[in-house]
Structure 1
């Protein structure tokens, strides 16, 4: 049981760390043509950038499929990636970008910090001027309360 929890946490952590690197160096690099759709206003439910979610989701499904027979490390890492993906959807797509209008702006300090960091990331629609590339791990400066 401890092993399963550890591999699930590992899968989640791998997604945050690799997600940060992929976002900074690939999405804001050679894959900008796909990712820039996320930095532009859209009136559609889906954007080309959603292909990245399909890719990460496919990796999770493959790992779960390969490890389900023995419930080995692949299964639990796939579960961790899937949990990350679900939280990403609710936090990024629903709460921050409001692609589905389920919740109001966050009131929780942690969620407000994530919200501010993502707003800072979107202050530009250029490939090279963006800041704050993680989703859950963001610079401390975004957790400071704003002056009133």
Structure 2
């Protein structure tokens, strides 16, 4: 597979993962999988939460896709790589920057501040119902200008 197409697949997968994550978060995490996701909306008493198991699920899918295409570096390999890159971005932005699991990442960047604000809007409601702002990377325009 040529390099340009591989890069397009990885970038497209990252964009699709943001959309899929939004839908999964809204309709599954705040729906039938709330019993696991609610640990993310409660005060944490340890470094790990039940919600972290979702990251392991996506990591497993990513590794599986890369493994089955490792010999030919086909499209599935690059979809898996895109899922992995999204996971790293998610970890850095969501866990490290927004939730401050590590206290080392601060920024005055307007976009990152908007991401944090959107997530605070999401967490303002501690319950399963009536939450807003389910995404991570796509931020409403009004939050960027505030």
Normalised to the residue count of structure 2, the TM-score between the two structures is 0.95
Instruction: Give the one of 49, 52, 67 matched to 1:47.
Output: 49
Aligned residue for 1:138? 139
Aligned residue for 1:119? 120
Moved over 6 A (4+): none
Q: Structure 2 CA distance, aligned partners of 1:10 and 1:48? A: 29
Aligned residue for 2:16? 14
Gap regions ≥5 residues in structure 2 = none
Indicate yes or no: 2:1 matched with 1:2.
Answer: no
Deviation at 1:38, TM superposition (A): 0.1
Q: Structure 2 CA distance, aligned partners of 1:116 and 1:49? A: 21
Q: Structure 1 CA distance, aligned partners of 2:93 and 2:35? A: 24
Aligned residue for 2:31? 29
Deviations 1:56-85 (CA, angstroms, capped at 9, x unpaired): 111110111111110000111111111110
Aligned residue for 2:130? 129
Q: Structure 2 CA distance, aligned partners of 1:133 and 1:7? A: 24
Gap regions ≥5 residues in structure 1 = none
Aligned residue for 2:81? 79
- For 1:66-105, list aligned pairs within 5 A: 66-104=68-106
Aligned length: 144
Q: Structure 2 CA distance, aligned partners of 1:121 and 1:12? A: 22
